[in-house]
Structure 1
Amino acid sequence: MPSPLTYPGVYIEEVPSGVRSIAGVATSIAAFVGYTRQGIPDKAVHITSFADFERSHGGLDRESPVSYAVQQFFLNGGSEAYVVRVATGAAAAGWELQDDGPTSVLNIMAASPGSWGNQVKLTVERDPDKVRNPDSEFNLLVQQFSGQGSKERLVTQEIHRNLNLNSRSANYVVSVVNDASRLIRVERGAGLTFDQKGFAVGKEITFPLVVTDNIIAGTIDGNTPFRIELDTTPGNIDDLVDAINNKLGDAGLDTKLQATKSAADGSLGDSHLKLESQTVGETSSVTIAAGAFGGLARAIGLGLANGGREFTGDAQHHPAEITAQLPATKGADGSKGGSTELLGSEADKSGIYALRDVDLFNLLSIPETRDLPDSEADAVIAAAASLCEAERAFYLVDAPSG
């Protein structure tokens, strides 16, 4: 503890010092810039093996000198690298998914430009045997193939389950797919409007009801819980509807939820109970709780767990079913660019300046420099040397001829 200071003056106090190790810094992280068959343009992608490079950038390509440089780096003991893809004329494959309208509801692009996306197939499933709630959700199957005709083979596939178009839902298709997929990126169609109410509808009711309790519970619009308990068990559907609406009124929920008679799909009818949200929009929904209570809900088949159906407001624009659909817009690999593409823009962090987003690299290689006219090669060499000086890295470059 500090010594007590009793008089003015200068005091010297020795304090114990622990060992402060100096952390080592990696000295063999390479950076490669150049044309590759696939990959996200102008982005430094971290790899730790040539297998990573094959997955992210397509592997060896005779039009890609940098692909051979990466291969040799790992064959000779390299363990960590960054690759920046530069290309001109590259384009990503694309799909437009429509609802039953048909209205364009989802715009889907391959995760990176290149012809590889031309062999990606999409399937939308709304099969009750595969989807938790086929009235309000769908599955998206993404399959990448290689080869043609009898030589076609599946390379990889993804399945994204129980998706919807509700932007506030944990299963929102845009968020789920873009966070998880290595193959595609999704955007919701611009200008979509949702003007339907969500509802839950039970199975056909047979009276008299046999119940363990008179409780129905659930959630309205994803954020308003409700629980109603009838005083007695109604003897017909009209009394059931009236009793539920009376309880909703007593609870101050009649502006949020209403009970009516309906058919099995929620249309006009008189043999099923329908609980309908009183709001419209993509978040409109009625979800029936499953649990120890809710004997009345079980008796009338209300709720997914009891064999009922639930329709959400966003289901209005769910994509129609498709099977193994190839992209309507074809992708293109593009080709090697010149000094303009290699240099890119420091402001936009494109070309070699995509490496500005990398914490540390020690070696820089731009194999395509040797194929450029002298004036363009000189410009690339000068800019790359300046970048390496700023980043304290070595620049590997062939000596100019002559």
Structure 2
Amino acid sequence: MPGIRILQNKVSLDPMSSQLKFAGPGVREDVLSFHRSIEGYEQTPLAELKGLADQLELGSIRIKDESFRFGLNSFKSLGASYAIARTFGLSKLEIANTDVTLVTATDGNHGRAVAWAATRVGARSLIFIPDGADPKRISAIEAEGAEVREGGINYENAIECAISVSKAESHVLIQDTAWDGYEEVPELITQGYFTMVAEALEQSGWKWPSHVFIQAGVGSLAAGVIGAFYSYREKSVPKFVIVEPQGAACVFESAKHGRLITIEGRHETLMACLSCGRASSSAWELLEQTASAFVSCDDETTLDGMRVLSQPTGDDPAVLSGVSGAVTAGLLYELMQDSECSEYRDFLGLGPESNVLLFSTEGPLV
């Protein structure tokens, strides 16, 4: 199993902890109501993969396909729209009486989402992206009305550019990662992701998952998914498995060392939207107390996931996932098929009674 590293973690968070104040039931309901008010809102599909579950000897597998979200090919609009509206004191995503430029750094999807939401509140947007980004990602951001600039060799360099310009030119920074002194906007973005969980549970007929596999770049998505589950106070939480690319496994390395670790240099991975060198400080504080396992995977794992999802088993629907969206499916497939993974299956408790929830966070890059 050379392409996968797994680190077991002890869940230690008290469900009544004040650290979960950001994830109350009222917040979840407010977020969902906000997204429902946006023109074009529809629930994204939740696919039940019965054939694959039977093949892998699991109780059920469901995957939320975020490629359909607001026509933007990823889940990121949920966080960006909620944060931008609340930053301007808006109850809906609507034109505000403002003359500002929103600035962010991105590996692709977040920048596109910020540009899309900025247009809808009447703001301009300036997006920094690492050097050498796929031209298709840049074109998709520009198509939403943004100015795009290169910002160094990695995501962290791009963030530094965004911070510098926002301060120098009095722009508004809408970043999806937190650090000391910058927590409010990232928390709003994280809360915006609650909608995915609320929809998935409703669509499944409230069949509660035993396991949730979720991707991590800086960790804000994972924190949002975990926070959403903790917001259902009357329920026991699933086991959360946090999944990253080996070329940018900042959360995995932080868990391994017991503190925030920065991965320097250019991050070599196909999973561009998970290519981050340092975790969000607030997300990390939650993940280290709530994850059952941290996993880093090679690119072959996500390519396997794309194949498994696009070439379905039996009568399962096909799910067309992107390279950052399919890694959890690839990991689950390998864990259940590879004889060398029996130890990991055992400590995660994966078996015929397991109900697994996955998120395909993006569609293919077109």
TM-score interval w.r.t. the shorter chain?
under 0.3
Structure 1 or 2: more helix by fraction: 2
TM-score (norm 2): 0.20
Larger radius of gyration: 1
Structure 1 or 2: more strand by fraction: 1
TM-score (norm 1): 0.19
